[in-house]
Amino acid sequence: MTTAQPQAKILLVDDRTENLIALEAILSPLGQVLVRAHSGEAALTALLSDEFAVILLDVVMPGMDGFETAEHIKQRPGTHDVPIILLTAAAEPELAFRGYAAGAADFITKPFDPRVLRSKVAIFVEKYLLEVRQVRAVAELSARVSSVEAAAAGLASPRLEEALAALRETLDGLKEE
């Protein structure tokens, strides 16, 4: 029996529909869930209800621009660690510095090589999915330890207690990572 691979969600933020369509074409081979947002405000709303592996965020948008949106994302505890890739047609170096100061993990100027963007996004997705698998594995291990503890409750022996204490310590170390 094979279990289905989990899919990551990727948030695409741009006020121009044609840019969102282009990003979807570039990223669809990754086989992940692509979610559109047409503004910074819409991106923040999407982040309230979904968890994303990575955010691709246009810099120049009406209303809340990409820098301000990134700053809001990084201020929220639930989204602070989500990597942001800023995209812009402006090639001024100070914009890149401003993007990194706002919390972006990367800053890419348009036009860009689609293969490079897809590779960068794939790395963030892979990292996210690995973290999801680790969290699940720790939860499963924790459940097993609890079950062994319950079964061993009536069989108290110093050696068994030592083994269970070592197992609990290992599990606590995994949870902290």
Q: Measured on CA atoms in the order 159, 163, 164, 165, is the torsion positive or negative?
A: positive
Question: What predicted TM-score, i.e. pTM, was given to this entire model?
Answer: 0.81
Q: pLDDT class for 105, splitting at 50, 70, 90? A: very high
Q: pLDDT class for 7, splitting at 50, 70, 90? A: very high
Mean pLDDT confidence for 31-38: 98
Are residues 40 and 86 in contact, defined by beta-carbon separation less than 8 angstroms? Answer: no
At 167 the pLDDT is 75
Give dist(CA 114, CA 22) in Å, integer.
9
Give dist(CA 32, CA 9) in Å, integer.
6
Give buried/exposed letters for 112-132 (b at 16+ CB in 10 A, else e).
Answer: eeeeebeebbeebbeebbeee
Q: pLDDT class for 138, splitting at 50, 70, 90? A: confident
Residue 54 has pLDDT above 80, yes or no: yes
Q: What is the CATH number of domain 9-131?
A: 3.40.50.2300
